[in-house]
Amino acid sequence: MEITIYLSLVFLTLYVIGLIIRRIIFLRARRRMREESRWGGRIIARADEVEPGSVKKFWLICQKYRVDGFLINDAGNFYAYVNRCRHMTTPLDFVRDQFFSEDRRYLMCYTHGALYEPATGFCIAGPCKGESLYRLPVQVDRGDILVGCPEGDLSFLAE
């Protein structure tokens, strides 16, 4: 009996410590995001650093959520999306650390092969056909690429 109570207290203590560490990490990230932001967006890269066909991963703090995203340069136009497939909640690059299909025409989720249009995030093939990636607003200011948070209810990020 005593050992059960003892183990319960140990697990409870570890759980609370984990929560505190997670909160500290979140608050530090939120402060960093504020320092690296202007016009409502975080500075992700210099525009000339992200060449056509390339991808840059980043994170944002949006409301109470950490958002993992990726920025692409599609023929000179910049687009950013939440790095989460619409089929399941896995990142597109979960398996191979790649975002594009082999012919480089589409964004691809390597878990089950869904294809998305780079400019719209619309899924044209695979198990999420007809859905769209969650888009993040992008602006270029003085040569910096800024990515902002999506507006409205972000509770889908908690799923």
List residues near ligand FES by CB under 6 A.
Answer: 85, 87-88, 90, 109, 111-112, 114, 126-128
Query: Tokens 């979140």, residue?
Result: 26
Q: How far out from the chain centre does Cα 106 lie? A: 18
Asked whether the beta carbons of 61 and 33 are under 8 A apart, the reply is: yes
- Of the pair 114, 146, the CB lying nearest ligand FES is at 114
The minimum distance between CB 115 and ligand FES, in angstroms, equals 9
Q: Which one-letter DSSP state was computed for residue 149? A: P
Single-letter amino acid code for the residue at 5? I
Q: Which residue's CB is nearer to ligand FES, number 114 or number 145? A: 114
Q: How far is CA 73 from CA 3, 110, 118, 121, in A?
A: 58, 20, 9, 13
- Least separation in angstroms between CB 129 and ligand FES: 10
Q: Which residue, 83 or 111, is less far from ligand FES as judged by CB?
A: 111
CB of 106 to ligand FES, least distance (A): 12
Q: How far is the CB of 12 from ligand FES (least distance, A)?
A: 35
N-to-C CA span, the chain? 37
Q: Which is nearer to ligand FES, 101 or 139 (CB)?
A: 101
